[in-house]
Amino acid sequence: MILDPDLIQFTTQFLEKNGALVDAHPDHIHALLPGHLADSLNLPEETRLGSNEHPLLYGSPVLDRLVHAATSRIPVTYGTLSIPYIKKAGFDAAIAQDLSFINAKCEVGVRAETRTSYMIITCSYVALSDERKEGLTRLTFHEPSGAVVEDFEDTVTDFECSYYRKGNLPPQFSTRIGLTLQKALKSIHHSIEQDLAPFIASMRRRLHRDVLNTREYYQSLADEMRASLAHPNLSDTQRMERQEKIDGLQAEADRKISDLQHKYDTRIHVRVCAGERYLVDVAQLIVTILYRKARRTLPVFYNPVTRRIDPLVCEICGKTMRRIFLQDGKTGVVLTCPECSRNR
Ligand SMILES: [Zn+2]
């Protein structure tokens, strides 16, 4: 089975950084792990990830342990935000503004004040190609769902926060956040790719230009040499040698082009630098979705930090969404993003 390229990259980088020898393929990763790493990941020293024995999928135990090991040494702060006022009315308008149920109707039911948790992750990245580009990215995730909550990281500083010491954390900070972190890493990679899109596009343009120049150069060289074959003073041997050179030009051009492709290839390294986890009092609304003859209730949150309804998460691919489609699944009605709705 072909593995998710993000998982291959993450796993390879993490294992190599910790002293492993890694041979990555599209459908499995073959790794030789140093003893301490094998012990901490509960894997044999020679291991094949992506096999039936050690599947490398979102939610798989091996990935859980890898994510835990990769994030356990990252500094994390914990706090509760003081929310002076929690919205009490006007939720119909808020939902209509922030969530679009494209093929279903939505009714707002009971409202309750509750406490939920958000995590801000800060990552640095380096993209290496013919040039180097560095950057920082900061994203916020709603911990229970893994949804990306836009702008939270910018507005959170408007609120007072009481911080906790480690060892004295309230139980509302769940320790079972492996799945959220996996979704978060995927979203972070996606966000970094968007940040880097202009850089990657400029490397592609340069590659395209250099490849064209190389082709033109070798074409005119071949034309020139072919024309010189007609020279009356050439001996048969010289003519044969020149012909051989002409015949070899295409292979030489192909080699040069492959070097260029390697030179402009972009490799991206991502490092998680810090985590901030916040408990926040929010308004929770139970909404009822009416889709054909089915009804489904689900909680949505009005977030007092962003002053918006938090987005939802596609129940097929895990992507954050504000445009929501409904469709029939095996065990009932499923919420999906526009892409998954098209691909079903
Ligand atoms: Zn989806």
What is the model's pLDDT at position 192? 94
What does the pLDDT look like over 41-68, one tens digit per residue? Answer: 999 999 999 988 999 988 888 888 888 8
CA of 339 to the centre of ligand 1 (A): 6
| CA-to-CA separations, 81 to 22, 111, 166, 174, 337, in angstroms, rounded | 43, 21, 17, 17, 31
Tracing tokens 């408990």 back to the chain, one arrives at 279
315 C-alpha vs ligand 1 centroid, how far in Å?
Answer: 7
pLDDT digits (tens, 9 = 90+) for 221-262: 999 988 888 888 888 888 888 889 999 999 999 999 999 999
Ligand 1 mean position to 343 CA, how many Å? 9
pLDDT recorded at residue 230? 84
Locate all alpha helices (DSSP H) within 134-177, ordered by sequence. 152-155
Expressed in angstroms and rounded, the spacing between residue 289 Cα and the centre of ligand 1 is: 18
In this prediction, the residues of the chain whose per-residue pLDDT falls under 70 are none
- Only one residue has tokens 């509760």, namely 80
Query: Both tokens of residue 128?
Result: 């290496």
Pairwise CA distance, residues 344 & 260, whole Å: 40
The CA 199 to ligand 1 mean position distance, Å, reads 27
CA distance 310 to 304: 10
For 150, 216, 259, the CA distances from 311, given in Å and listed in that order, are 9, 52, 45
For residue 276, report the distance from its CA to the centre of ligand 1, in Å: 27
Q: What is the pTM of this model?
A: 0.76
Q: Which ranges of the chain would DSSP assign to H, the alpha helix?
A: 5-17, 35-41, 61-71, 91-98, 152-155, 178-228, 236-264, 338-343
> For residue 216, how far is its CA from the centre of ligand 1 (angstroms)?
45
User: 278 C-alpha to center of ligand 1: Å?
Assistant: 27
> What separation in Å is there between the alpha carbon of 210 and the centre of ligand 1?
38
Count of CB atoms situated within 10 Å of the CB of 74: 14
In angstroms, the CA 160 to CA 212 distance is: 58
Q: How far is the CA of 320 from the centre of ligand 1 (A)?
A: 8
Q: What percent of the chain is modeled with pLDDT above 70?
A: 100
Q: What is the pLDDT of residue 242?
A: 87
- Predicted local distance difference test score (pLDDT) of residue 236: 87
Question: pLDDT at position 70, please?
Answer: 79
The pLDDT value given to residue 271: 85
pLDDT given for residue 228 in this prediction:
87
Ligand 1 centroid vs 58 CA: distance in angstroms?
14
Question: Whole-angstrom Cα distance, residue 4 to residue 11?
Answer: 11
